[in-house]
Amino acid sequence: YEGSYGVMIYAPAVLAEAGTIEVSDDANATVASTWRTLQDDAAADVAYPLAGKSRFYIRIPFASAFRLKASGNVAADRTFAVTVCSD
């Protein structure tokens, strides 16, 4: 992720819930690390793409790690594809 200029996140075809992107300043982040919800310039939470969609995020600023967090309980694992875009 370091040295990249952005990431493309692809949501699975079936996705019942929405969610946000969380970031950490810990490059070796774990579940126990401190995570914060990423917000845009308008102080709105940054959502991950909806079912069957993809979205390009220009370098998630100053984040050493990121994760996707569902807005509620999910019935099963969700698999998102991520492409790191770099020079």
Name the residue type at position 54.
S
Tell which wins on pLDDT, 6 or 8.
8
Furthest CA-CA distance within the chain: 38
Other beta carbons less than 10 A from residue 30's beta carbon: 9
pTM, to two decimals: 0.82
Residue 54 clears pLDDT 90, i.e. is over it: yes
Chain segment 32-46, per-residue pLDDT in tens:
888 999 998 889 999
Residue 1 clears pLDDT 60, i.e. is over it: no
* Contacts for 12 with CB less than 8 Å, ≥ 6 apart: 51, 52, 78, 79, 80
pLDDT, mean of residues 48-76: 86
Q: Give the C-alpha separation, 59 to 52, whole Å.
A: 22
Other beta carbons less than 10 A from residue 11's beta carbon: 21
